Amino acid sequence: MKDEEADRVEGIRRHQHAEEVRQQIREKEKERVKATNAFFEEGIKLDQEAKARYVCFLKNDCKKYA
């Protein structure tokens, strides 16, 4: 009886630990996705700014970027 109870408690502990590890993995993955999105958003922003400067240069109206 004691062995069965000990096995059951150990199984519950292992399950809880596994769930905690899975939760940590999910949180880390969310952080990585946010970082990746921020990286690409910054690249898009820089690209848009460069295009705006180029159009300004072509129009010879670059007061904003002088």
Question: What's residue 66's pLDDT?
Answer: 54
Please report, for residues 22, 48, 51, the alpha-carbon distance to residue 35 in angstroms, rounded to integers and kept in the order given. Answer: 20, 20, 24
CB contact at 8 A, 53 and 63: no
The tens-digit pLDDT sequence of the chain (66 residues) is: 778 888 899 999 999 999 999 999 999 999 999 999 999 999 999 999 999 888 888 887 666 655
Q: Give the start-to-end residue ranges of the domains of the chain.
A: 1-66
Question: What's residue 60's pLDDT?
Answer: 77
Other CB atoms within 10 Å distance of the CB of residue 48: 10
Measured CA angle at 50 (ends 34, 32), to 5 deg = 10
